[in-house]
């Protein structure tokens, strides 16, 4: 059809006949564009087809919400109730999500007696239960206990995957590591969206519902404290701790990091962290570093404490010491 | 304004007119892009668990490609400087192709960031004013600004120059030259900021060194002009657009110098890592020779880095012998070797070993999953598609056979009458 036109035109000498002529806008070009549209639509369908399996797509409110610091109490309440509804729908569990605020005059710190720790990993399992970490995903645990030979402090010599019949093993000591709650945290500095920050009580928190999942914080942390939800956490209703905090142990959405938050949904109500409560040897000491007569100040003044990777100048609020 | 809309409409139509070979090429790239996009939507449904990444190696081949492509984009400056600053005539005819490559590369690198996000639905939190922007502390927020800014600057320069050529008018230096000067500084900045993304991480000794940004620039100015040398020959073979051998040989000199500088910087880095033999050199030891940890020997990256070094050295040998390097076949071989080598060296060879061993001292290795390979292939195909499409339009405009129609309305009527 159009070739006939071209030939016709050519015989009259109006326009050169080549279809590749970029200045031609004839019917053939339109036909091709139409065909192109059809190809584009079917390609789009081919690409979008897997999206039908999307179960946890965000709601419009979730997509358009504001940053944590700009949420009014009313809006915050809406967010918390929405999370409760989502947990009820997706995990078949009735839970309560709160957002306890930091207390005045309180700055938390942790001291850990390495001479007492026997490597039982009781703290690890208690932490997982408290913080809604799926029990069959031990790699997501916030606390990693590293079995160290007595003659070194070099972490590269340590073994976090030890599995003995009996603990402690001869010639070894046990170094539990979790978030060090730094005074100069490298992780919050690199976050492009202010999704992680340090609260006035010294706890570095993550807004799981704001983070974009770029993982700069995982790369920045010198202590390997952060875990990433590479997929949606799977946890059975009976395994869920229904007493949840927004910045702490709510069930995390996928695609965001998580880490130890000093159990702030407990500690801000005056309780102890789950790991300390369960420790069979009394190796763990948690408290308010601003309290001059508190346990933390006593240890800092009277024991020889050290911090991990002091050369990184992160100034942790997590202290280790050896004391029989 | 009306002219501009007509220009856009006609450009759209022109995009669908070409030889059967053009159709086959674009169709092939579309198919590959679609396969990659489908792999991405599947990853979107399941999560990043479909990748080979772990808590220990938390960036993989996506960020490796991102790093390489930012360099490619920055390399456009190596055409802009000779063309606009030294006013080399033969570069003036081709500089636009370098800028178009920069546009394609920036879009590809932004896509690689998007597919790497755990929550792409929240990417807007990174946009200044609208989201919550951690500026100036977060290097990723800097990167977001400089990459998008560089994209806009190049879109402006290319769009303006091509549109003026289409209109048959002489471009006003006042409108584009300030942006050309800006783009030179900006090109350096995009790759420097991308390097700082790694350099600024206190716990990662492999990256925490001042040499990363210079190394990035050295490798970028090798890879970018290398790809353009090949692209120029493809363009003049298939489109008949005249590109002089002299333009190609100016690029050859740039590739040669940059490649030698890149190898020198690599050697400097290797000396620092190996002579001191501190624990800070563990990542380099893992990369070059493998690492023993608790009785196991880990060496997944060793082949990558040695193949990369062999390729780069072979390319350097070809390039420093002028009688060989002047022959197009050997020049092309050298460019391919240098590019693949650099892709290994600064992709897999720089991003991955920075995570190994982990800060807690464990060795967890990384290999890209099939999803990652498919998405990577898709983005590369899409970038090539974009670059081919822009070249298609630009060459028609530059050759002067796509231009404003003097009697547009009448011509349309006449065609209707004929039909």
In a domain, B412, yes or no: no
A6 pLDDT exceeds 90?
no
HSE value, Cβ hemisphere, 13 Å, CA-based, for B240: 5
All domains of chain A, ordered by start, with CATH?
2-52 (no CATH), 102-324 (3.30.70.20)
Query: Is B118–A228 a contact, with Cβ atoms under 8 angstroms apart?
Result: yes
User: Which residues 94-123 in chain B show a CB within 8 A of chain A?
Assistant: 113, 116-123
Q: What is the pLDDT of residue A250?
A: 97
Of A25, A186, A231, the CB nearest to B46: A231
Beta pairing partners, A176: A145
CATH code for the domain in which residue B384 is found: 1.20.1630.10
The tally of domains found in chain B comes to 1
In contact, A139 and B364? CB cutoff 8 Å: no
User: Which residues 238-297 in chain A show a CB within 8 A of chain B?
Assistant: 253-256
d(C-alpha A122, C-alpha B81), whole Å: 64
Q: What is the pLDDT of residue B138?
A: 94
Task: Enter the tokens of residue A39.
Answer: 């190809």
B48 pLDDT exceeds 80?
yes
A185 pLDDT exceeds 70?
yes
User: Which residues 333-372 in chain B show a CB within 8 A of chain A?
Assistant: 354-355, 357-362
HSE value, Cβ hemisphere, 13 Å, CA-based, for B262: 29
Q: What is the pLDDT of residue B181?
A: 93
Pick from B107, A220, A226: which is nearest to B115 by CA? B107
Task: Enter the tokens of residue A103.
Answer: 């207390």
Q: What is the pLDDT of residue B416?
A: 44
The dihedral built from the CA positions of residue A42, A43, A46 and A47, taken in this order, carries a sign that is negative
Quick one: what percent of chain B has pLDDT higher than 90? Answer: 82
Query: Is B418–A189 a contact, with Cβ atoms under 8 angstroms apart?
Result: no
- A216 at B interface, C-beta within 8 A: yes
- A89-148 tens-digit pLDDT: 999 999 999 999 999 999 999 999 999 999 999 999 999 999 999 999 999 999 999 999
User: Which residues 31-50 in chain A show a CB within 8 A of chain B?
Assistant: 32-33, 36, 39, 43, 46-50
Query: Is B38–A50 a contact, with Cβ atoms under 8 angstroms apart?
Result: yes
d(C-alpha A86, C-alpha B399), whole Å: 60
Q: What is the pLDDT of residue B390?
A: 96
- A210-269 tens-digit pLDDT: 999 999 999 999 999 999 999 999 999 999 999 999 999 999 999 999 999 999 999 999
d(C-alpha B266, C-alpha B338), whole Å: 14
In a domain, B38, yes or no: no
B13 pLDDT exceeds 90?
no
Show residues of chain B in contact with A156, CB under 8 Å: 279, 282, 293, 357, 361
Q: What is the pLDDT of residue A30?
A: 78
In a domain, B8, yes or no: no
Tell me the mean pLDDT in the region B157-180: 93
Distance, in angstroms, between A294 CA and closest chain B CA? 31
Distance, in angstroms, between A7 CA and closest chain B CA? 11
Distance, in angstroms, between B200 CA and closest chain A CA? 8
Helix (H) or strand (E) holding A9: helix A2-12
Q: What is the pLDDT of residue B417?
A: 42
In a domain, B415, yes or no: no
Q: How confident is the model at residue A12 (pLDDT cuts 50, 70, 90)?
A: very low
Show residues of chain B in contact with A139, CB under 8 Å: 55
Higher pLDDT, A8 or B332: B332
Q: What is the pLDDT of residue A13?
A: 39
In a domain, B62, yes or no: yes
Q: What is the pLDDT of residue A140?
A: 96
Q: What is the pLDDT of residue A32?
A: 74
Could you count the other beta carbons within 10 Å of the beta carbon of residue B41?
Answer: 18
Provide the residue range defining the domain that includes B129.
50-406
Q: How confident is the model at residue B268 (pLDDT cuts 50, 70, 90)?
A: very high
Show residues of chain A in contact with B277, CB under 8 Å: none
Tell me the mean pLDDT in the region B223-251: 93
Distance of CA A237 to the CA centre of its chain: 21
Calculate the dihedral angle through the C-alpha atoms of A113, A114, A115, A117, rounding to the nearest 10 degrees. Answer: 90
In a domain, B6, yes or no: no
In a domain, B121, yes or no: yes
Q: At what angle do helices B95-116 and B370-399 cross, to 10 degrees?
A: 160
B411 pLDDT exceeds 90?
no
Q: How confident is the model at residue A4 (pLDDT cuts 50, 70, 90)?
A: very low
Q: What is the pLDDT of residue B202?
A: 87
In a domain, B334, yes or no: yes
Please give the full DSSP string across B141-192, using - where no structure is assigned: HHHHHHHHHHHHHHHHHHHHHHHHHHHTPPPPHHHHHHHHHHHHHHHHHHHH
- A43-92 tens-digit pLDDT: 999 999 999 988 888 888 888 889 999 999 999 999 999 999 999 999 99
Q: What is the pLDDT of residue A23?
A: 53
The gap between the terminal CA atoms of chain B, to the nearest Å, is 29
Q: What is the pLDDT of residue A7?
A: 39
B101 pLDDT exceeds 70?
yes
Show residues of chain B in contact with A213, CB under 8 Å: 48, 117-119, 122
- B23-46 tens-digit pLDDT: 999 999 999 999 999 999 999 999
Residue A276 DSSP SS3: helix
Q: What is the pLDDT of residue A22?
A: 53
Q: What mean pLDDT is reported for chain B? A: 92
Show residues of chain B in contact with A14, CB under 8 Å: 414, 418
Quick one: what percent of chain B has pLDDT higher than 70? Answer: 97
Q: What is the pLDDT of residue A58?
A: 86
For B272-300, b/e burial (b = at least 16 CB within 10 A) is ebeeeeeeebbbbbbbbeebebeeeebeb
Tell me the mean pLDDT in the region A164-171: 90
């Amino acid at each position: 059809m159009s070739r006939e036109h071209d030939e016709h035109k050519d015989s009259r000498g109006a326009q050169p006949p080549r279809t590749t002529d970029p200045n031609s806008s004839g019917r053939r070009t339109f036909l091709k564009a139409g065909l192109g549209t059809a190809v584009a639509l079917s390609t789009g369908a081919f690409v979008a087809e897997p999206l039908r399996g999307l179960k946890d797509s965000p709601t419009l409110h979730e997509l358009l919400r504001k940053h944590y610091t700009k949420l009014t109490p009313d809006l915050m309440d809406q967010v918390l109730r929405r999370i409760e509804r989502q947990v009820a729908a997706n995990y078949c569990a009735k839970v309560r999500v709160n957002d306890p605020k930091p207390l005045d005059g309180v700055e938390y710190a942790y001291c850990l007696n390495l001479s007492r720790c026997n490597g039982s990993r009781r703290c690890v399992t208690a932490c997982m239960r408290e913080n809604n970490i799926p029990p069959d995903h031990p790699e997501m645990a916030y606390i990693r206990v590293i079995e160290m030979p007595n003659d070194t402090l070099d972490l590269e010599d340590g073994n976090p995957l030890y599995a003995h019949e009996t603990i402690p093993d001869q010639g070894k000591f046990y170094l539990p590591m979790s978030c060090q709650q730094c005074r100069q945290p490298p992780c919050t500095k690199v976050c492009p969206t202010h999704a992680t920050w340090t609260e006035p009580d010294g706890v570095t928190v993550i807004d799981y519902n704001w983070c974009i999942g770029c993982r700069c914080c995982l790369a920045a942390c010198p202590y390997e404290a952060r875990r990433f939800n590479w997929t949606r956490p799977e946890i059975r209703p009976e395994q869920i701790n229904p007493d949840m905090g927004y910045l702490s142990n709510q069930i995390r959405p996928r695609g965001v990091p998580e880490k130890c938050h000093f159990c702030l949904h407990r500690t801000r109500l005056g309780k102890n962290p789950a790991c300390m409560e369960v420790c069979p040897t009394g190796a763990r000491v948690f408290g308010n570093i601003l309290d001059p007569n508190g346990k933390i100040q006593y240890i800092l003044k009277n024991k020889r404490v050290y911090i991990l990777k002091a050369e990184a100048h992160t100034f942790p609020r997590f202290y280790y010491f050896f004391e029989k | 304004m009306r002219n501009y809309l007509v220009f856009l409409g006609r450009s759209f139509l022109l995009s669908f007119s070409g030889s059967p070979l053009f159709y086959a090429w674009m169709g092939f790239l579309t198919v590959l892009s679609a396969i990659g996009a489908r792999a991405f939507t599947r990853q979107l449904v399941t999560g990043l668990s479909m990748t080979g990444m772990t808590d220990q190696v938390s960036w993989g081949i996506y960020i490796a490609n991102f790093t390489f492509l930012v360099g490619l984009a920055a390399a456009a400056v190596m055409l802009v400087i000779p063309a606009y600053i030294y006013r080399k005539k033969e570069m003036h005819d081709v500089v636009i192709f370098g800028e178009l490559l920069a546009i394609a590369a920036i879009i590809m690198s932004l896509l690689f960031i998007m597919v790497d996000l755990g929550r792409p639905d929240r990417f807007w939190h990174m946009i200044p004013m609208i989201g919550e922007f951690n500026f100036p502390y977060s290097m990723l927020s800097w990167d977001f600004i400089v990459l998008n800014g560089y994209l806009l600057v190049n879109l402006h320069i290319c769009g303006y120059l091509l549109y003026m050529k289409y209109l048959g008018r002489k471009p006003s230096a006042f409108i584009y030259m300030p942006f050309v000067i800006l783009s030179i500084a900006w090109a350096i900045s995009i790759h420097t900021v991308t390097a700082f993304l790694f350099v600024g991480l206190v716990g990662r000794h492999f990256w925490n060194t001042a040499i990363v940004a210079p190394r990035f620039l050295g490798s970028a100015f090798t890879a970018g002009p290398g790809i353009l040398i090949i692209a120029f020959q493809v363009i003049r073979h298939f489109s008949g657009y005249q590109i002089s051998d002299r333009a190609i040989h100016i690029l050859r000199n740039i590739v040669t110098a940059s490649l030698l500088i890149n190898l020198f910087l690599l050697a400097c880095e290797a000396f620092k890592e190996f002579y001191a033999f501190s624990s800070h050199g563990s990542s380099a030891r893992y990369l070059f020779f493998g690492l023993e940890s608790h009785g196991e020997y880990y060496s997944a990256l060793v082949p990558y880095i040695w193949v990369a070094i062999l390729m780069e050295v072979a390319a350097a040998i070809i390039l420093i012998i002028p009688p060989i390097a002047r022959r197009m076949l050997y020049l092309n071989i050298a460019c391919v070797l240098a590019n693949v080598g650099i892709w290994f060296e600064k992709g897999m060879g720089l991003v991955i070993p920075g995570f190994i061993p982990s800060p807690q001292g464990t060795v967890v290795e990384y290999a890209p999953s099939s999803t990652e390979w498919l998405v990577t292939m898709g983005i590369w195909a899409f970038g090539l598609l974009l670059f081919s499409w822009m070249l298609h339009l630009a060459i028609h405009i530059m050759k002067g056979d796509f231009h404003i129609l003097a009697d547009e309305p009448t011509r349309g009527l006449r065609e209707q009458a004929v039909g």
